[in-house]
Structure 1
Amino acid sequence: MKKLLRKCLCFVLVAITLAACNAPSKEGADFANKGVLQYVDTRVGTAASIADITVTEVEEPMGYVSPIVGNPSALTHWTPQTATWTDRVITVPVPYWYDQEKIQGFRGTRYPNGAVVGDWGAMCIMPMTGVVSIDAKARASKFSHDSEIARPHYYSVKLDDYNIKAELTAASKTAFFQFTFPESKSSSVLFDGVFVPGYYKVIPERNEIEGYMIIAGNFRNHFVAKFDKEFETYRVDVLPAVVDANLVPEGFKASYYNNDKLEGEPTAFDTYSDLNREWLKAPVEGIKDDFFSAIYTGTLVARHSGEHTFELTTEDGTRMYLNNQLVIDKWEYRATGTETYTTKLTKGEKYDIRIEYYDGSGSTVMKLRCAEPVKQDPDFGSEMALIGADGNAVYVTFATKDQEKVKMKVGTSLIDLAQARANMDQEFPDFDFNKSVAKGAQVWENELDKIQVEGSEDDKAIFYTALTKCFVNPRNLNEDGRYFSPFDFKVHEGEMYTDLSIWDTFRSLHPLWVILKPQETTNIINGMLNAYKEGGWIPKWPNPWYRSIMMGTHADAVIADAYVKGIRGFDADLAFEAMLKNANVKGDRGFSGRVGIDYFNKMGYVPTDIFGFYGEPVARTLEFSYDDYCIAQMARALLKIDHLAEYMERSKRYINVFDKETGLVRGKKLNGEWLPPFDKSISVWAQGTDHDTEVYYKNHTLLVPHDIPGLANFMGGNDQLEAYLDDFFDKDMYYVGDEFSMHAPYMYNNIGAPWKTQKVVREMLSKYFFNDVGGLPGNDDCGQVSSWYVFGAMGFYPACPGDPIYQLCSPVLNKVVLNVGEGKTFTIIANNNSKENAYIQSAKLNGKEYTKCTLTHSDLMNGGDLVFEMGAEPNKNWGILK
């Protein structure tokens, strides 16, 4: 197991230092140091966890978050960029890493904060002085963390190499920058597409730049940038020409395989005059939409002697050979990226080109360009900037006086350029930066004010920073009542959200939104149903379109949990129809929902010899069973009695992968034969050491939140399940940074030992969460880990979404006031609370003695108060379920 990066950075001292070293604009300073925003540092989770985390070799205890700026659920968030891609245990396009020393620019990002997926529709902006450098690494500037201020509404940093102070605020669709330049005859601001080229046009009479980056097919990230300063010069770094018949006279021959490994014989063939292709579905008839591979071959005849630079842009894995020599090797699942290779060619000589490619899921991109050794007119880039051209980047330059502030607004849109300009004008109608910072601060103050807490300064900082992360995603695509659909690539009226990490967030993030954001919960579900109507399925991990990652179809849980808790405003019958489709129909059109559902419905489990390594067959069996339970609860609420009985029965199928010999889950073949105990092929997450594998099995065995009595019965009774949990926690086998068993600490409530839930939850919250850049114990997964903390710190948790019940635990905070809507509040008070006094001695709900270790959703939403008396020793008689 890798050694963890350990950093001990006291948050309070950092806040004081930051305020002293790099004071923001007046309004920024006011809001950075008052209200609850003073407790928030969005850099928490940008370094490896400082805790001693149980984690397997295939993961890393990193938050995978960035210091995001922008309104909650913004269409586009903004963050400093220290890297495009970073090789860690998992290679990811996370924009910002605390341990990196240079900033490459400021990224307009749609990376789902804390997840391990793609950053779609990204762009980057970098101010510079002197000679303009387009390459991100070459232009990057050193900076000091002492010069940073990182709040959800405001970010500031000093770019040391250029002596530029960069300040940033943002709303939902627009960023607002203020750059303080030194004296320079050549100050500049550069735009690029991070992973892909873009189309750029400069409109000097309006001090504007406009353009877009193509994400896939007709999916474009449009932007309009407006400055408060005139441009002196401007230039597009125009793309090299597409390699076409001028260089490859006989074109390219393509061979396609219906697998992602170039195995066996090709299934289909085609020919192309060039490789400048994007496919939303299958590239040719007879090939699958996803997980195919291809070989493209051609003969290039050089037109000039000298240095040639090839640019190969693909999504997912690629290799390029020139005369059988491997010159580009990027054979990995990834978002769209461009690789380059430079070599000398001789005029008239022939060169064999071979490109190998594999597609994972989503769209397909294959573009090959070549810059030939031909001297370019020095004015060409400027002339093309006025016309509009495809390029690697665009930049504008101007002279600046010492400490001159240059302001720039950047509106974004997925619909078109006109909408990007409208978004910019609506959100930031003028160039008053200070007023805009104050406006963003007020948005976040209102958001965080949904919960008021009392406790230590440290606990408040951890809590409000976590709560901030709970509101970053999912991403709202609504633009003036319209949205560009990722599912049919058309503009519609209504609601659409993406970057929903549903496999993670159904557990506690969405239940938190049900309490605090009921209307937006309705909007999210309507967005899911719009995706169903436009694409045929409710998405399970949209980013931005269907992603066939993770197991289960937990939109079932999100919808059922919302409905049984009183959320309305969506077509419940249509939602139920979509849930039934998940439960009975194999995926199509690029969507793989419940992979193995046909076997699950026939055999009662997903067989390991059909869905082996990476197939997660045991996990699928467990999760399909839980999803069916949620369908049953939806059926109960809709009075669909036949479906209720059927899906309650289906929800018991998890037992088919429970093995009496080992007392754990275990892979089972189609013929009913068990895999060997602790067989590593059960999952990618079970790889690594034998201890890693055991951790996987122990965590997964608890993945039955909907039927704890059934799980206890399998183990021999409540006492045996309690002993299992004791051993599980005592041996530190619980990985808090992953979601399989996040409900596990609360299971003691169900088996007559609620005092152990109080003990374990309190210990975990103090052990794993800190006021520190390394203060998250693992991938935040779009706010799921943070919401797990928020609930635990308040004193209750939705251990089984789909049931309108919360499990009570020991509050970290002394007082919590939740605004539950309609002017009502629900207050939780922990009297005599301290780190030592972690056990509930007694409780009163609205002044009456309360002896339950659970709380109903209706009690919560009706308002009132729950008062705990805390003590140093457990009261083993309180909260025992009768």
Structure 2
Amino acid sequence: MRLSILKYLAVATALLSLACNQKEKTLVSDGPMSQKKYLGYVDTRVGTAVSIADITVTEVEEPMGYVSPIVGNPSALTHWTPQTARWTDRVITVPVPYWYDQEKIQGFRGTRYPNGAVVGDWGPMSIMPMTGDVIIDADARASKFSHDSEVAKPHYYSVKLDDYDIKTEFTAASKTAFFQFTFPESKSSSVVFDGVYVPGYYKVIPERNEIEGYTVIAGHFKNHFVAKFDKKFETYNVDLLPNVVDQNLVPDGFKAKYYNNDKFEGEPAVVVNHSKLNYNWLKEPAEGVNADFFSVEYTAALVARHTGEHTFELTTKDGTRMYMDDEMVIDQWMYRATGTNTFKVNLTKGQQYKLRIEYYDGSSTTEMHLRCAEPVEPNPQLGPQMALKGADGNAVFVTFATKDQEKVKMKVGTSLIDIEQARANMDEEFPNFDFTKAVEKGADVWEKELNMIQVEGSEEDKAIFYTALTKCFVNPRNLNENGRYFSPFDYQVHEGGQMYTDLSLWDTFRSLHPLWVIVKPEETTDVINGMLNAYEEGGWIPKWPNPWYRSIMMGTHGDAVIADAYVKGIRGFDTELAFKAMLKNATEKGNRGFSGRVGIEYFNDIGYVPTDIFGFYGEPVARTLEFSYDDYCIAQMAKALGKDEYYDDFMERSKRYINVLDEETGLVRGKKLNGEWLPPFDKSISVWAQGTDHDTEVYYKNHTLLVPHDIPGLSNFMGGDDKLIEYLDDFFEQDMYYVGDEFSMHAPYMYNSVGAPWRTQRVVRDMLAKYFFNDVGGLPGNDDCGQVSSWYVFGAMGFYPALPGTPVYEICSPIFNKAQINVGNGKVFTVVAKNNSKENAYIQSATLNGEPYNSSQLHHDAIIQGGELIFEMGPEPNMKWGLVR
């Protein structure tokens, strides 16, 4: 019997490997196009290393994707990924879970990090299998691994943990992960759970082979989980938390000096006393203190109650330093460096020690927890006893003996609602312990996603394309749990309705959401309804929810997403409510922790955002440009709704970008409240204008093009179309374009608007070849929830939504011989490039549904109605084609 089981497992493993690596193969027809297998082309590690391309990038950025090998359904509540680091000190400090250049795996993270972005990972948890003595600390327990042992697909990941000789495989649905660990022979095989950055609550239920618990997210809601094994536990334990440092150790409490800036500048705005540091602040930490970008110094006199080694734990967000007797013992002075830092020190009973904690807050919520484990002999039975009752701890673990090559399976359900919902999610998504079927189920989900667009071309190009397409569907994150959702905006559970978060709207309005309009129109409606629910529950359309309002980035580009969807025929949402919310963005200052359009009162009064009021972090010039564009989108929505008076008003407002264009330099330029210009190329204009003088010039040149809604107006400012063409030619020839910089992503397509579409064809084709590769360094910049990937997807197909808010696309040069898009209702839109090759990059002529076509624009209706756009390609530009607008 044992031999037959081993044979069965060997066959199953072989079939699983085949399913993960098999490339294109036609399957049974499902809809208007015969379904094919594309998962074999996908490697989710693409973008996890620094770009291999020669990229123009300033000193304040880094050309890499900031993505991880994510596993889980599209828009999953929780994705899962290997964790090589809790955070990494790179050019920008970010809590990206996985970095290709790191040599060890610390665990496998249930993550809500927005893939490719530079924000926070909210409510993560980590799981680590091991043998031998249990090690809680993530760095200490980390195991070496080889990339050769990895399989990284959107539905399946596998790796060998070399230090423990454990093969780990997992798949995941929307709310549940399914692990299969292959252990060596060991008397002590374990699985450890922790909250990555914060402690958690854990309870072991041995009679059900379960662990349940939660971590607290910013003190306002919880990430609940239930883990169920197919093997009984022999032992279990909770690594209990130290006590909070309170008046028992600091009799006089903590004196807190709060500053309304993040640099301790000037006099304190507020001075108060805290009896302990054990707080979560959603907004301001004290009356009179800013909700964001404040700094604080806590001082206290600690009197030791025991002699011996004390272990301190300090949990914070953003930058923190801790001193004891003026000696720095913790140095974590980094933006968004969420985590728990520890240090150990020998103290003497009765002796007094000076404590000082410095902290600065960036944006969003704030945490401050200081705990201390005193040198008191612990009760070895307390951990296991508390594990059965349920207790707060740094981690929980279960242990069992394993035979050689024994497979232990484990499912982990998650929920934002409660533990019972987490269990229900687990039971619904993976009702049994059949791992092979679970992997096949995940593969089916992703094959259907990838089959929405079928392309014909080289194998290398298809690998780049389908890996990019995969990244387009990871976020935004759907919070719906069986007809209910927990709202991060009012902290209530709502019946029915929709809620999405991790929308990188500042980035994704440009091409990710327009892609969804074409291939996911129904879910686009759901996303917009989720945005409107956030408006009703929190007062505003979110502009970068992660998961609640974040006061980051410029503009309120939910306006663009809604307008673009509506003018392209997306319905099923309350348009009057949406328009009301859009008007609020354009007319009112933000409140309740939402920054809105920072400087809107000045924009509406004097026509721009002044640099001496909102400099550096305030991005005043970019705000002026983006507010103008958002107002253009509001105007398009008003026109579509028949609100002519609003249309006229907001079209006038959309011209205000001209107020920050300087005739002397021919570029954008910061302007003070009194109308005085900043010096040319003044670095104080923005944090992104720092670095070398060349970096600063690149910033100015890119930002000057941020007028997608009025290219004729920009052309007129520069002296005519020929001058704008000259500007663009120099811009690209001097290698000033950074494809990862969203400000100018539309720039290659601007040639279409000024009578030189052949230049768009050449530039886009060159960029696709220069910057994107089937390689771990194959992404040219932060993917930002699929924005860079969607930029590639559109360009590779031959058209791009250069002006969201209007139902037109700009045509470029497709790299594929054929691309078919399932646009729904049994219809397919096909782009064919005849005589296509790397050399034949120029459109010679075109037909649309058999009729001659001489426009460099493509209307949305032509796509949605289905049909065929055929290009004849050649090696030389046809300067007469595409001049019709």
TM-score band w.r.t. shorter chain:
over 0.9
Corresponding position of 1:498: 501
Corresponding position of 1:315: 317
Per-residue CA shift, 1:25-50, capped at 9, x if unaligned? Answer: 62353243141000000000011111
One-letter code aligned to 2:658: I
Give the alignment of 1:461-860 within 5 angstroms: 461-493=463-495, 494-860=497-863
Give the alignment of 1:377-392 within 5 angstroms: 377-392=379-394
* SS of equivalent to 2:742: coil
Q: 2:336 aligns with which of 319, 334, 337?
A: 334
Q: 1:250 aligns with which of 245, 249, 252?
A: 252
Does residue 144 in structure 1 map to residue 146 in structure 2?
yes
Per-residue CA shift, 1:342-385, capped at 9, x if unaligned? Answer: 11100111122222222222222111100111111112211111
Report the Cα offset of residue 335 of structure 1: 4.8
Distance 1:487 1:302 in 2: 42
Does residue 429 in structure 1 map to residue 418 in structure 2?
no
Per-residue CA shift, 1:516-565, capped at 9, x if unaligned? Answer: 00111111111111111111111111111111111111111000000000
Per-residue CA shift, 1:461-492, capped at 9, x if unaligned? Answer: 01000000000000111111111111111111
Report the Cα offset of residue 244 of structure 1: 1.6
One-letter code aligned to 1:66: S
Name the stretch that deviates more: 326-335 or 708-717: 326-335
Q: 1:412 aligns with which of 411, 414, 420?
A: 414
One-letter code aligned to 1:32: N
Name the stretch that deviates more: 612-621 or 466-475: 612-621
Distance 1:22 1:350 in 2: 67
8 A contact 2:234–2:399 mirrored in 1: yes
8 A contact 1:622–1:703 mirrored in 2: yes
One-letter code aligned to 1:654: Y
> TM-score, length-normalised on structure 1?
0.96
* SS of equivalent to 1:614: helix
Distance 1:550 1:731 in 2: 28
Per-residue CA shift, 1:425-482, capped at 9, x if unaligned? Answer: 0000000000000000000000111001100101110100000000000011111111
Does residue 30 in structure 1 map to residue 33 in structure 2?
no
Corresponding position of 1:396: 398
* SS of equivalent to 1:698: helix
Distance 1:515 1:185 in 2: 55
Report the Cα offset of residue 422 of structure 1: 0.5
Report the Cα offset of residue 294 of structure 1: 2.5
Distance 2:287 2:683 in 1: 37
Per-residue CA shift, 1:722-764, capped at 9, x if unaligned? Answer: 1111111111110001111111111111111111111100000
One-letter code aligned to 2:719: G
Corresponding position of 2:241: 239
Quote the RMSD (CA, aligned, Å).
Answer: 1.3
Distance 1:569 1:666 in 2: 42
- Alignment CA distance shift 1:788-1:506 (3 Å): same
Does residue 173 in structure 1 map to residue 162 in structure 2?
no
Name the stretch that deviates more: 672-681 or 437-446: 672-681
8 A contact 2:93–2:334 mirrored in 1: no
One-letter code aligned to 1:124: S
Distance 1:37 1:376 in 2: 52
Corresponding position of 2:214: 212
Distance 1:326 1:144 in 2: 37
Give the alignment of 1:268-279 within 5 angstroms: 268-279=270-281
8 A contact 1:169–1:176 mirrored in 2: yes
Distance 2:732 2:362 in 1: 37
One-letter code aligned to 2:856: C
Corresponding position of 1:8: none
Report the Cα offset of residue 128 of structure 1: 0.3
Per-residue CA shift, 1:392-441, capped at 9, x if unaligned? Answer: 11110000000000000000011110110000000000000000000000
Report the Cα offset of residue 326 of structure 1: 2.4
Report the Cα offset of residue 268 of structure 1: 3.0
8 A contact 1:289–1:589 mirrored in 2: no
Report the Cα offset of residue 23 of structure 1: 9.7
* SS of equivalent to 1:756: helix
Corresponding position of 1:353: 355
Corresponding position of 1:456: 458
Distance 2:188 2:14 in 1: 25
> TM-score, length-normalised on structure 2?
0.96
Distance 2:805 2:119 in 1: 27
Distance 1:781 1:22 in 2: 39
* SS of equivalent to 1:697: helix
Q: 1:874 aligns with which of 871, 874, 877?
A: 877
8 A contact 1:253–1:269 mirrored in 2: yes
- Alignment CA distance shift 1:132-1:31 (3 Å): same
8 A contact 2:840–2:874 mirrored in 1: yes
Structure 1 residue ranges without an equivalent (≥5): 1-20
8 A contact 2:239–2:396 mirrored in 1: yes
8 A contact 1:304–1:345 mirrored in 2: yes
Corresponding position of 2:66: 64
Report the Cα offset of residue 661 of structure 1: 1.0
How many pairs does the alignment contain?
A: 862
One-letter code aligned to 1:859: A
Identity value in percent: 79
Distance 1:858 1:137 in 2: 54
Corresponding position of 2:263: 261
8 A contact 1:28–1:154 mirrored in 2: no
One-letter code aligned to 1:77: H
Distance 2:876 2:693 in 1: 37
Distance 1:25 1:366 in 2: 50
* SS of equivalent to 1:674: coil
8 A contact 1:607–1:669 mirrored in 2: yes
Q: 1:159 aligns with which of 141, 146, 161?
A: 161
Distance 2:333 2:159 in 1: 36
Corresponding position of 1:16: none
One-letter code aligned to 2:284: A
Distance 1:414 1:397 in 2: 28
One-letter code aligned to 1:482: R
Structure 2 residue ranges without an equivalent (≥5): 1-9, 24-36
Per-residue CA shift, 1:634-661, capped at 9, x if unaligned? Answer: 0000111110000000000001111111
Corresponding position of 1:14: none
One-letter code aligned to 2:67: V
Report the Cα offset of residue 255 of structure 1: 3.1
8 A contact 1:686–1:693 mirrored in 2: yes
Name the stretch that deviates more: 659-668 or 426-435: 659-668
* SS of equivalent to 1:652: helix
Distance 2:577 2:432 in 1: 44
One-letter code aligned to 1:382: P
One-letter code aligned to 1:408: M
One-letter code aligned to 1:26: L
Q: 1:374 aligns with which of 373, 376, 399?
A: 376
One-letter code aligned to 2:699: Y
Report the Cα offset of residue 769 of structure 1: 0.4
